[in-house]
């Protein structure tokens, strides 16, 4: 687990050095790159690719939630004497998914239907295709599609019903 985390961070550092500032990375690209690099460096660290992407998806989810929380806390920063430069980094995020609300809903979904929650985690945070997800979960692609459809509907409904926190933490 920490290995994946470190690898993701190293890749990010590489991107900052090479790419133009302000660019975003898609989970798919990041996870793939991390896998290729780790597989080359430490082939025995993971049982297989499935094992790796499952961990990578979970890492991505934690990373996004952690940063969204930090942003939210920074925005609510309060008294001016608490303002540090770090809080000055608060940026407006594109795209309309509230990561914190999604994370919360996903945790609730996991209690009702662990498989659906896992599928969402792999597809959204890990960037896997239906086939890849089916491979990792060990079910047929048709099942993944069905489960995904219901999970997405349920999450949409739950996230929309959650009290709106304003524009905070959108990612």
Binding site for other proteins (CB under 8 A): 2, 5-6, 8-9, 11-13, 15-19, 21-28, 30, 60, 63-64, 66-67, 77, 79-81, 83-91, 94-95, 97, 99, 102, 112-113, 120, 123-127, 146, 149-150, 152-157, 160, 171
Instruction: Report d(CA 106, CA 166) in Å as an integer.
Output: 20
CB of 44 or CB of 81, closer to other proteins: 81
Instruction: Report d(CA 125, CA 55) in Å as an integer.
Output: 11
Count of CB atoms within 10 A of residue 110's CB? 15
Provide the minimum distance between the beta carbon of 65 and other proteins in the complex, in angstroms, as a whole number: 11
Give the torsion sign (CA, 43, 44, 45, 48).
positive
Provide the minimum distance between the beta carbon of 106 and other proteins in the complex, in angstroms, as a whole number: 10
Provide the minimum distance between the beta carbon of 123 and other proteins in the complex, in angstroms, as a whole number: 7
Instruction: Report d(CA 135, CA 144) in Å as an integer.
Output: 10
Provide the minimum distance between the beta carbon of 75 and other proteins in the complex, in angstroms, as a whole number: 10
Cβ atoms 116, 109 nearer than 8 A: yes
CB of 12 or CB of 139, closer to other proteins: 12
DSSP-derived 3-state class of residue 170? strand
CB of 94 or CB of 163, closer to other proteins: 94
Listing DSSP states for 109-156 in one string gives HHHH-HHHHHHHIIIIIS---HHHHHHHHTS-HHHHHHHHHHHHHHHH
Provide the minimum distance between the beta carbon of 164 and other proteins in the complex, in angstroms, as a whole number: 16
Half-sphere exposure in the Cβ direction for 165 (13 Å, CA): 19
CB of 36 or CB of 83, closer to other proteins: 83
CB of 15 or CB of 35, closer to other proteins: 15
């Amino acid at each position: 687990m920490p290995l994946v985390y470190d690898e993701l961070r190293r890749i990010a550092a590489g991107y900052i050095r090479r790419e133009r500032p302000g660019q975003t990375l898609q989970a798919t690209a990041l996870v793939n790159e991390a896998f290729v690099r780790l597989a080359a460096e430490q082939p025995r660290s993971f049982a297989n690719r499935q094992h790796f992407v499952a961990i990578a998806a979970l890492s991505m989810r934690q990373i996004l939630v952690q940063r969204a929380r930090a942003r939210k806390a920074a925005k609510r920063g309060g008294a001016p004497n608490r303002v540090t430069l770090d809080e000055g980094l608060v940026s407006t995020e594109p795209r309309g998914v509230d990561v914190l609300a999604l994370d919360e809903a996903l945790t609730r979904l996991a209690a009702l239907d662990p498989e659906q929650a896992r599928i969402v985690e792999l597809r959204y945070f890990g960037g896997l295709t239906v086939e890849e997800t089916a491979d990792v979960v060990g079910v047929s692609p048709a099942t993944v599609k069905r489960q995904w459809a219901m999970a997405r509907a349920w999450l949409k409904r739950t996230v929309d019903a959650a009290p709106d926190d304003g524009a905070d933490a959108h990612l």
